[in-house]
A and B are shown apart, each in its own frame.
Chain A
Amino acid sequence: MAAIGVHLGATCACAAVYKDGRADVVANDAGDRVTPAVVAFADNEEIVEKNGKLQYEIDNKLISPEDVAKLIFSKMKETAQSALGSDVNDVVITVPFDFGENQKNALGEAAAAAGFNVMRLIHEPSAALLAYGIGQDSPTGKSNVLVYKLGGASLSITILEVNSGMYRVLATNTDDGIGGVCFTEALAQHLAAEFQRSCKHDIRGNPRAMMKLMNSADVAKHSLSTLGSANCFVDSLYDGLDFDCNVSRARFELICSSLFTKCVEAIKKLLQQVAFTAEDINKVVLCGGSARIPKLQQLIKDIFPNVELLSSIPPDEVIPIGAAIEAGILLGKENPSLEEAALFIECSAKDILFKGVDETGADKFMVLFPSGTPLPARRQHTLHAPGNTSSVCLELYESLGKSPMNEENKFAQIVLQDLDKKEDGLHDILTVLTMKRDGSLHVTCTDQDTGKCEVITVEVAS
């Protein structure tokens, strides 16, 4: 059983396969793990490959984006099938979060035209989360994850809430004005300036020479993500003159500093938009080829000093791997397609908290049942009480967001009495909260030692 996950970006496409419980990116026949999403229409053949970049022109032919997408999908399918050695058609395809219904349909149809059986179209940020398996191990708990994707032609940042293993997009922002190409261009401009300085030729108006420089800058940019410096060498760049230049990482970062600032500012803006601070984000996932840039990673780390920056999977492979994992999950499902209504699920509206005391004896509120939990749901906690008391009181509060707690928010209390006193130890109180789909709450408190139990049911005010 195998399935494919395909990510089709603005500049690159990448396919990953899911087999035997593992998802991995497959390299194309040229040995590249990422295929440029470029179609060259030569006189009598269509080529989808890296070299296509140079041959990119459409001579008097009108080609719809769907046709291009179809050709790229065909190529991806070929790649995946040659890697698997079997005929596999089931696929999950990622789409940017801001894709509309029509775009999704067009892409799905293109994939179907390429011979794929599209099981589902998923959003890139959720695929990224899935690639890291965030929230997949245990279906409890709630966290916020920021997905930072700097692709070839766009920057998109998304904040997702992970609750009970389900992902919910809280906010997203896409900037089509910035991408990996901008860095290459900046570097190429720098190289052109260097060339002008050394050879006294301004080649900025010469497209052929600029294209050569762009290619060279691209290679150098990639090298600079891992090396401290990169050598740019272009034979006969202009007028038979060779170009040779060494660019250090520091220089590159200097050249692109304004771009970096732009990239980072977008994060801050989005956080403001949802009234989050950096502390509210539990994880940051990096994806997109340009997220490899060390300076960028460092800048992001600066914003989220206490947050785990997930970049163990190559950022440009995160999304296809996530897609492949989803394909693996959907594999064997009788009817993997979903209705639109299925995406809307009832969630609890408010946090359910209890009031306890911390070590110093001050009141402290702890969340028992977080807001946004898909319903129906059951949450189980073992709470502790000092062993020297014979009775325990659990006071339940509800609250929305970070508003301060007061007595008005209290809606119930549960008291367990006549417990066995333990001089050296704690009472273990098993608290089970169950919320139905309509939002009514059922709380059971059980003392583990005596088995004493109290049950309450709280309805929703109509």
Chain B
Amino acid sequence: MLRGAHEGQLTAVTGALTAASVLCQVEPVGRWFEAFIKRRNINVSASFQELEDEKELSEESGDEELQLEEFPMLKTLDPKDWKNQDHYAVLGLGNIRYRATQKQIKAAHKSMVLKHHPDKRKAAGEQIGEGDNDYFTCITKAYEILSDPVKRRAFNSIDPTFDNSVPSKSEAKENFFEVFSPVFERNARWSNKKNVPKLGDANSSFEEVDAFYSFWYNFDSWREFSYLDEEEKEKAECRDERRWIEKQNRAARALRKKEEMNRIRILVDNAYSCDPRIKKFKEEEKAKKEAEKKAKVEAKRKEQEAKEKQRQAELEAARLAKEKEEEEVRQQALVAKKEKEIQKKAIKKERQKLRTTCKNWNYFSDNEADCVKMMEEVEKLCDRLELARIMLYIYFATQKEIEEINEQIRREKEEAEARMRQATKSSEKLTTGGGGGSKNWPEDDLQLLIKAVNLFPAGTNSRWEVIANYMNLHSTTGIKRTAKDVINKAKSLQKLDPHQKDDINKKAFDKFKKEHGVVPQMDSAAPSERFEGSPLDSSPWTTEEQKLLEQALKTYPVNTPERWEKIAAAVPGRSKKDCMKRYKVSFSYPELVEMVKAKKAAQEQVMNATKVKK
């Protein structure tokens, strides 16, 4: 039992619920569990079942609501003119018409019969028409037509309330969808196929619009016009007449059907031509095509460009390759030329050498005539022979030289021996003479002695004997010396001032020079060239030269072409390089620095030269 509310108490929520739902494990049994799971799976509320029940209920009540009021128009109906009556209206189904179910038609007819049956009305004291003339006939007829599916379809086809009109193009210019949507919707009822596509709206996709128009252009209508047949087959009296009637009817129906199809066709045509979406799609299509075309052209152009580029690249590559080749050829030619020059130079040098050698040796002959002849020969050789041959000749020449030298040495030896013999004779006389006995000591021996002394330094085991031995072994004079002699001589040599030593050395060198006159020349031949132009060679600048240089520098300013050549020309006896160097030195560094630098440069040059040699 609830209590009454206090004064001023109102509906209110004073607080929230403190606990949310909790998860509980339930036993998976029973129909309520199944129902719950099913509900949960299809995600509907608890009232799902109830709603379904309600729905069923409402449908049933809906059927019952189809109650009919009084239809005053029924009384106005002419039973003779049943064909032109609206059967739905007669049965009170004017509001649902073709959508009425058979059940509804039956129910409507029943209630009509209950209300309008002549017997009932008679009992109510109403005036009844005679026989078929009573309006009840219309009800019967209406039911007859509507209860038969074929006849009902025939009647539906010519439904008098159906609007057959087709909107014209001009009507639909502004509001296409508003005008055409209802038209298509109401015509959709004639379709044999279910799920007639809707007109849609401005945002419909191309596929939808396409499907819509293809459906309507292939519209399959069940509408037929047998209801409008002029003649009634049943009225025919004989078979021939019936056939004739049938033919007439068929022709009429076909005509009407054609008209109907035409109507639909016009409708769809009008719609199609007015449809803004079609326009849009066409434009889009056009744009797309254009874009494609453009893209194609672009692609082609690009392709061509690429081709051109490739071709040019190839050409460039070929050109580069060619250039490179040429460069190589040129380099090779240069190298060859250089080599040739070098060879030429070498030949020249060798020729010169040959000539000199020949000359030195008086062309290996003594008399003038031979000399001249030889000279000619040598010249001829020099002209004709290759470098290698010349070198070979030189080699032969030197061989000859060596032989000659050997010969000379041999002769000298003989001479020396002869002299020695004399000397020994005299030395034997002078043995007690002590001292230097330098006469006993020819230069060769002295040299040998010095060499031996150096070879066996102090501290060597029985040094002087060894030296004496060595002397005896190596001496060319053939004089036998004892250790004592050697000591005496060595001591006397030591006592002698270094001047004498130098003298001896110098003498030795002179002798060597005399004997090997050609050799130093040969040696100096090769490096002489290399050291050519070495800054070491540059002699110091005289004041006159300096002055000249300064004058030249003034005369030829910096921007003069080939300035240094001209300057060099202005300073006699100085090369361009010398001038440049001097210029640098005199205007930037003191002479000493320049000298150091020059030295360094020389060293580097030597090193470079050795490297080159390697």
Decide if A139 touches B3 in the complex (CB within 8 Å): no
Of A160, A344, A347, A350, the residue contacting B18 (CB under 8 A) is A350
B363 to chain A, nearest CB (A): 127
A-B contact count (CB 8 A): 195
Decide if A398 touches B18 in the complex (CB within 8 Å): yes
Residues of B close to A326: CB separation below 8 A: 29-30
Q: Does B57 lie at the interface of the complex (its beta carbon under 8 Å from any beta carbon of A)?
A: no
Decide if A136 touches B30 in the complex (CB within 8 Å): yes
Decide if B23 touches A439 in the complex (CB within 8 Å): no
B2 to chain A, nearest CB (A): 4
Decide if B1 touches A166 in the complex (CB within 8 Å): no
Decide if A458 touches B17 in the complex (CB within 8 Å): yes
Q: Bound complex: CA of A356 vs CA of B18, how far in Å?
A: 22
A250 to chain B, nearest CB (A): 40
Stretch of B31-39, B334-342, B466-474, B576-584 with 4 or more beta carbons under 8 angstroms from chain A? B31-39
Q: Bound complex: CA of A53 vs CA of B9, how far in Å?
A: 76
**Tally of chain A residues near chain B (CB < 8 A):** 81
Known: A411-B14, A456-B11, A456-B13. A127 touches B29 (CB 8 A): yes
Q: Bound complex: CA of A322 vs CA of B29, how far in Å?
A: 9
Residues of A close to B45: CB separation below 8 A: 376
Q: Does A63 lie at the interface of the complex (its beta carbon under 8 Å from any beta carbon of B)?
A: no
Decide if A122 touches B27 in the complex (CB within 8 Å): yes
Q: Bound complex: CA of A348 vs CA of B6, how far in Å?
A: 31
In B21-76, the 8 Å CB interface with A consists of: 21-37, 40, 45-47
Of B5, B6, B19, B23, the residue contacting A345 (CB under 8 A) is B23
Of B5, B26, B28, the residue contacting A393 (CB under 8 A) is B5
Decide if A392 touches B27 in the complex (CB within 8 Å): no
Of A127, A135, A345, A389, the residue contacting B40 (CB under 8 A) is A345
Residues of A close to B25: CB separation below 8 A: 168-169, 343-344
A416 to chain B, nearest CB (A): 8
Of B3, B4, B26, the residue contacting A343 (CB under 8 A) is B26
Decide if B11 touches A166 in the complex (CB within 8 Å): no
Residues of A close to B19: CB separation below 8 A: 349-350, 398, 400, 439, 460
B134 to chain A, nearest CB (A): 49
Q: Bound complex: CA of A232 vs CA of B287, how far in Å?
A: 107
Q: Does B10 lie at the interface of the complex (its beta carbon under 8 Å from any beta carbon of A)?
A: yes
Q: Bound complex: CA of A165 vs CA of B26, how far in Å?
A: 11
Closest Cβ neighbor of B23 among chain A residues: A344
A208 to chain B, nearest CB (A): 45
Known: A344-B25, A345-B24, A345-B26. A166 touches B36 (CB 8 A): yes
Residues of A close to B9: CB separation below 8 A: 391, 393, 413, 415
Q: Does B612 lie at the interface of the complex (its beta carbon under 8 Å from any beta carbon of A)?
A: no
A197 to chain B, nearest CB (A): 51
Decide if B37 touches A358 in the complex (CB within 8 Å): no
For B15, B23, B33, the residue with the greatest tally of chain A CB atoms inside 10 Å of its CB is: B33
Closest Cβ neighbor of A383 among chain B residues: B2
Decide if B29 touches A122 in the complex (CB within 8 Å): yes
A338 to chain B, nearest CB (A): 5
Residues of B close to A123: CB separation below 8 A: 27, 29
Decide if A130 touches B30 in the complex (CB within 8 Å): yes
Q: Bound complex: CA of A194 vs CA of B23, how far in Å?
A: 58
A460 to chain B, nearest CB (A): 5
Residues of B close to A169: CB separation below 8 A: 25, 27
A-B contact pairs, 22 of them (CB 8 A): A120-B28, A126-B29, A136-B30, A160-B27, A166-B26, A168-B26, A169-B27, A329-B34, A345-B36, A348-B22, A374-B24, A390-B4, A391-B5, A393-B2, A393-B6, A398-B17, A410-B14, A411-B14, A411-B15, A415-B9, A434-B46, A461-B17
A-B pairs, 7 with minimum CB distance = A165-B32, A389-B4, A349-B19, A393-B5, A126-B27, A461-B16, A439-B21
